[in-house]
Structure 1
Amino acid sequence: MALATSRRPAPDPVAVLRAHRAAVNVLAFHTPSGALLSGDADGELKIWDLVKHRPVFSSRVHTPSAGVLGIGVSSALNNKIISQGRDGTVKCWQLTESSLSRQPILSVKSESYHFCKLAVARRCTTNDESHEDTRGAAGQILMAIAGNDTSKVEIWDITSGQRVQLLSPKDSSVGMCMSLHMIFQSGEGDQCTVVAGYEDGSMLMWDTRHPAAPLLQSKQHKEPVLSLVLDGPGLGGISGSADGQLTLFSFNSTEKVYTPKKKFEGQAGIGDIALRGDDKIFATSGWDHRVSIYDYRRRKPLAFLKYHKEIVNGVAFSEDKKWLASGSKDSTVALWSLYPPSEGTSKSVE
């Protein structure tokens, strides 16, 4: 379905999933099982059958006071998933036959109450490659979270359950870490690039081989950076802030240069950003109740999806590129079909 705001109206959701009794905070597609995962403000995590459009499993994985803030999935985790509460608790669960293990197989507890979703490292990709290998050269599955000191970033090896690094800004004036993304650099062994968005609008980048100080620091936003994502090759990405500003950027880690490419000004905060696996389109979740769709390569808006009646907290694309899911404070999850691969080439996004 080619979407163009000037030529045709935006589509309605293909399906609306209704089972949550609280705000839906976060979404993730679990590729091995073909299921959708959703987490809400009461601490409930649901596993959805995308054929029957109904939950096949539900469990309170975090306390109602903490809620589910983040969900981590990756090909290296396979049938394990990670849940994160706002109280700093991170748990790793075994997923078997559309249900979770009764107890977490790993728990990480920090003493900080924060708003930063975890990030599981993935490997750089080019063109239409899938993110098949998300382990480091030493077999590590790495996760980044905001630390006990919320201006710092902790790197954990999920396999061993050990913290392996602590990344600190040059000074604490940047405030709390609000958003994270983490990527293994191709051909660089266990080198990871970690990008963090901060409360004062700054973006910081580290090369984990040299963790003592950030590689880059740039302030492109006036308000807290609530969401960010890097593209497949790990050479650029998108950041969104509380005042609705969306920034598309590139960076050169060798030359230590950050370059903003395009900025979109808005009136409502951007809570989440999802970039589809082929790096052609991305979606943002807005405090204005809308899901906004953009052409990543041409850096232009394509459509604004209007269904939710409250703030949209999370968005996620399926790895097969067929589905976009959005989750809202109105307790619903909407499924959308946008430029599915079966439609072939669309001039709007190629």
Structure 2
Amino acid sequence: MPLAPGTSHTSDFAGRSWSEAWTEGRDTPGDCIPPSMVAPPSPPPPPPDPQFVLRGSRSAVHALHFCGGAQGQGHPLLLSGSLHGLVHIWSLQTRRVLATLDGHAGKCVTWLQTLPPGPQLLSQGRDLRVHVWDLAEGRNAIVDSVCLESVGFCRGSVLACGPQRWMLAMPGKGGDEVQILEMPSKTSVCSLKPEAEARPGMPMCLQLWQADSSPLPLLLAGYEDGSVALWDVSARKVCSRVACHEEPVMGLDFDSQKARGVSGSAEKALAVWSLDEQRALQVHGTHQLTNPGVADVRIRPDRRLLATAGWDHRIRVFHWRTMKPLAVLAFHSAAVHCLAFATDGLLAAGSGDQRISVWSLYPRM
């Protein structure tokens, strides 16, 4: 990583030459080097260029997801969802589209997720549908669908519950509810409605997870009022709620090993928060950004880096433990809507400029 620019030190010689000060021993030799002999600090190297760029979505990119070679390909794939309702399956080897899925009636695709362990894909669109696609052996067929109660901006979340079972969280009816289904049976587990006095508004982002110490499912939800809440799904109650932002929470991610999370909003700040053993959320600090609007936040799988997607066309990269800024990637010419990390650390970013940039950043951190 580039080092911070250094600073030169000039001694106060009180009218003496630097050689006289050296002779008198009142300054160390390192302090007595004349300014003319001090090399100027080297500027930090410029941010890297993308490893490659994928073009061909033909509309703004709003969803990204890396997955294994589900179509008989031995190499990882990148899935993208577009403003015009198409899902593109990209080969990272040829950097071309392998297949295009058209199932959302021309409405924006907002979320993509593959299901373990088989080659099935979930796609959520603003047509009020979550589709389950079968991608095995070259097939591109919708095998099931779930109707959404609210169009909103909220992306779904999934949690594996067994070899062939998984839990789906998605926006519910009434605007402020989250609906939990067991899949593939589509059995309703519960509907999580905030307490009447809380009034957090619509859920904006969701993340289902399980603590290592308990098999019970938990849900983190970011809300329209800028708060983040932790739900106990089994008990159907809020364990904790904390005010993180003054504007709607647009994206969040959670590091379950460190019990530490991050959220971004329409304002120009990131909030870093933690979860204690009593399941209480606490904000540890905020990191101010240059411009407002964070569309997405993602922690790299090795928990070393954090990336943010900005309305100002920028991707910002931070050291996750220290929140030290590492890079500002100014490649795109429109807002960056979504991010995804691959298991090997590759970062993909989708933008309103219809391009997907793929980056290899700090691989040895």
TM-score (norm 2): 0.83
Out of 175, 192, 202, the residue aligned to residue 176 of structure 1 is 202
Q: Following TM superposition, by how much is the alpha carbon of 1:164 offset from its aligned partner in structure 2, in angstroms?
A: 1.4
SS in 1 for 2:325: strand
Higher relative contact order (CA 8 A, sep 6+): 1
Please say if 1:114 is aligned against 2:152: yes
Q: Following TM superposition, by how much is the alpha carbon of 1:244 offset from its aligned partner in structure 2, in angstroms?
A: 2.5
CA contact (8 A) 1:183 1:234 kept: no
Q: Distance in 1 between matches of 2:299 and 2:326?
A: 14
What is the percent sequence identity of the aligned residues? Answer: 33
Please say if 1:221 is aligned against 2:245: yes
Q: Following TM superposition, by how much is the alpha carbon of 1:110 offset from its aligned partner in structure 2, in angstroms?
A: 2.1
Please say if 1:152 is aligned against 2:190: no
CA contact (8 A) 1:5 1:304 kept: no
Q: Which runs of 5+ in 2 are unaligned?
A: 6-43, 71-75
Residue identity in the other structure for 1:8: P
2:132 aligns with: 92
Q: Distance in 2 between matches of 1:138 and 1:169?
A: 31
Out of 94, 101, 106, the residue aligned to residue 59 of structure 1 is 101
**Cα 1:12/1:109, change in 2 over 3 Å:** same
**RMSD value, Cα:** 1.8
1:36 aligns with: 78
1:21 aligns with: 58
Residue identity in the other structure for 2:121: I
1:290 aligns with: 314
Residue identity in the other structure for 2:54: L
CA contact (8 A) 2:109 2:124 kept: yes
2:143 aligns with: 105
Q: Distance in 2 between matches of 1:32 and 1:259?
A: 40
**Cα 1:145/1:256, change in 2 over 3 Å:** same
Q: Distance in 1 between matches of 2:329 and 2:139?
A: 32
2:296 aligns with: 272
1:166 aligns with: 191
> Number of aligned pairs?
320
CA contact (8 A) 2:105 2:127 kept: no
Q: Following TM superposition, by how much is the alpha carbon of 1:112 offset from its aligned partner in structure 2, in angstroms?
A: 1.6
Q: Distance in 2 between matches of 1:51 and 1:89?
A: 31
Q: Distance in 2 between matches of 1:232 and 1:217?
A: 17
CA contact (8 A) 2:295 2:336 kept: yes
Q: Following TM superposition, by how much is the alpha carbon of 1:71 offset from its aligned partner in structure 2, in angstroms?
A: 0.6
Q: Distance in 2 between matches of 1:116 and 1:274?
A: 16
**Cα 1:3/1:261, change in 2 over 3 Å:** farther
CA contact (8 A) 2:104 2:127 kept: no
Q: Distance in 2 between matches of 1:46 and 1:221?
A: 34
Please say if 1:47 is aligned against 2:47: no
Q: Distance in 1 between matches of 2:149 and 2:199?
A: 21
**Cα 1:35/1:263, change in 2 over 3 Å:** same
Residue identity in the other structure for 1:176: M
Residue identity in the other structure for 1:228: L
CA contact (8 A) 2:131 2:144 kept: yes
CA contact (8 A) 2:226 2:249 kept: yes
Greater Cα offset, 241-250 or 230-239: 230-239
TM-score (norm 1): 0.87
1:200 aligns with: 225
**Cα 1:113/1:327, change in 2 over 3 Å:** same
**Cα 1:85/1:234, change in 2 over 3 Å:** farther
- Select the structure of larger CA radius of gyration: 2
SS in 2 for 1:42: coil
Deviation string, structure 1 residues 25-77 (Cα, Å, up to 9, x no partner) = 0100013441000000100000000011111111212122x210111124x25
Q: Distance in 2 between matches of 1:263 and 1:166?
A: 31
Q: Following TM superposition, by how much is the alpha carbon of 1:113 offset from its aligned partner in structure 2, in angstroms?
A: 1.7
Q: Following TM superposition, by how much is the alpha carbon of 1:187 offset from its aligned partner in structure 2, in angstroms?
A: 4.1
Q: Which runs of 5+ in 1 are unaligned?
A: 122-134
**Cα 1:187/1:218, change in 2 over 3 Å:** closer
**Cα 1:270/1:164, change in 2 over 3 Å:** same
Q: Following TM superposition, by how much is the alpha carbon of 1:167 offset from its aligned partner in structure 2, in angstroms?
A: 1.1
1:335 aligns with: 358
SS in 2 for 1:105: strand
**Cα 1:139/1:50, change in 2 over 3 Å:** closer
Q: Following TM superposition, by how much is the alpha carbon of 1:275 offset from its aligned partner in structure 2, in angstroms?
A: 0.9
Deviation string, structure 1 residues 165-212 (Cα, Å, up to 9, x no partner) = 2111112621111011110222423x111010111111111112211x
Greater Cα offset, 228-237 or 173-182: 228-237
Deviation string, structure 1 residues 288-324 (Cα, Å, up to 9, x no partner) = 0011101111122110111100000000000122x10
Greater Cα offset, 81-90 or 17-26: 81-90
Q: Distance in 2 between matches of 1:46 and 1:245?
A: 32
Please say if 1:188 is aligned against 2:214: yes
Q: Following TM superposition, by how much is the alpha carbon of 1:234 offset from its aligned partner in structure 2, in angstroms?
A: 6.6
